[in-house]
């Protein structure tokens, strides 16, 4: 596993997230016509996955039927990493206790604000 992917047990009061988060490093590029992704901005990250029965552990019990075949996205928070240049970010994904198979160096993703793409990137 890459050094740029780490499991952290940081608890931030503003997150109200009591658990483990996955942090990923990436380079991103703003989608033309979209505003820049600000430091601390929360959005969805989309690796192009779709829900399958194997993803049932990620779905909340009170969430109704598992949305098999629909887009699988993750909530995340973006932090600018100026030491790596203006495109470098650290992405903190919530509600995961380990990176998923698609979260490997070179993995492509889209940062979304709902259904609207804000930026595209690749994991480092």
pLDDT for 94 beyond 70: yes
Q: Give pLDDT, residue 19.
A: 53
Percent of the chain exceeding pLDDT 70 equals 84
Domain range enclosing 76: 6-123
List the one residue out of 21, 2, 8, 37 whose CA is nearest residue 93.
21
pLDDT for 45 beyond 60: yes
Per DSSP (E only), the strands in 31-87 are: 42-50, 71-80
CATH of the domain at 60: 2.40.30.10
Phi and psi angles of residue 119, each rounded to the nearest 5 degrees, phi first: -155, 155
Whether 54 maps to a domain, the answer reads yes
Whether 83 maps to a domain, the answer reads yes
Domain count, the chain: 1
Whether 117 maps to a domain, the answer reads yes
pLDDT for 4 beyond 60: no
Q: Give pLDDT, residue 83.
A: 85
CB 93 within 8 A of CB 45: yes
Whether 1 maps to a domain, the answer reads no
């Amino acid at each position: 596993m890459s050094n740029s992917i780490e499991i952290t047990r940081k608890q931030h009061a503003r997150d109200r997230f009591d658990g483990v988060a996955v942090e990923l490093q990436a380079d991103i590029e703003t989608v033309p016509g979209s505003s820049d992704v600000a430091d601390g901005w929360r959005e969805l990250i989309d690796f192009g996955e779709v829900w399958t029965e194997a993803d049932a552990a990620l779905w909340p019990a009170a969430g109704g039927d598992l949305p098999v075949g629909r887009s699988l996205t993750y909530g995340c928070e973006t932090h600018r990493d100026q030491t790596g240049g203006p495109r470098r970010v650290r992405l903190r994904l919530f509600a995961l206790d380990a990176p998923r198979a698609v979260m490997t160096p070179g993995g492509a993703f889209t940062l979304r604000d709902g259904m609207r793409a804000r930026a595209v990137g690749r994991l480092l």
